[in-house]
Amino acid sequence: MGYDLERFVGYVNEGLLCCVCRDVLEDPLQAPCEHAFCSSCIHGWLVHHNTCPEDRLPLDISHLRPLFRYMRNDLARLQVRCVFRPQGCEVICTLESVHRHEQQCDYALLNCSNAGCPVKVSRRSLEAHLCVCEYSSRVCASGCGYTILNTEEAQHNCVSELRAELDMLRIRLQSRRGATRNGISLGYPKTTHGAEGESAEE
């Protein structure tokens, strides 16, 4: 698929439109008959056809070539609006530089970096979102050492958490003591290979 024609400012020569999707060429390729296509469009077309979609002349993937240089230059100079315009970006730049801008655009939609959070937010609003995100976590400021989510802060009780951890440690300790006692009561032999060797010699 090409670039949406509605994003462009000013006149766009028809020769810079894809013959398949009719949008502005993206990663353009050209047939021997000089019709031009987006790379993804013509590759998709040739999966089911063996002719040019415009004039029906025979066409194979091996026949495709890069667009004429003067056309590539014209394409690169086209003025295009940022793809994040619906989010508020008013930047207009050349087609050859738009990807670089969009990778850094303050209005680009990003996934929240907190695990489990489904929210997408603009780059410029991400820091504010992270301060209130219910999936944000931090170490308890009261000193218990526990990591808690924002949503858990009101219910968090350091004493209760530490008591629960202490109870768990006691259970583990009792379990280990029980296992040790069972081993002693079963009377497992503590012979060594050396002792066995001496018995055999006797």
pTM as predicted: 0.64
The pLDDT tens digits of the residues spanning 19-60 come to: 999 999 999 999 999 999 999 999 999 999 999 999 999 999
Mean pLDDT of the residues in the chain: 84
pLDDT computed for residue 141 by the predictor? 62
- Asked if residue 45 lies in contact with residue 59, where contact means CB atoms within 8 angstroms, the answer is no
Question: Which two structure tokens, joined as six digits, stand for 69?
Answer: 């240089």
pLDDT computed for residue 58 by the predictor? 96
Candidates 42, 24, 22; CA nearest to 33 is 42
Look at residue 55 and give its three-state secondary structure: coil
Question: Which two structure tokens, joined as six digits, stand for 179?
Answer: 């296992």
Average pLDDT over residues 62-75: 96
**Which domains does the chain carry?**
5-99 (3.30.40.10)
The pLDDT tens digits of the residues spanning 143-178 come to: 666 666 665 555 655 656 666 666 677 778 777 777
The pLDDT tens digits of the residues spanning 99-141 come to: 999 999 999 999 998 888 899 999 999 999 988 888 776 666 6
127 vs 121, 124, 133, 151, CA distance in Å? 10, 7, 10, 18
pLDDT computed for residue 162 by the predictor? 60
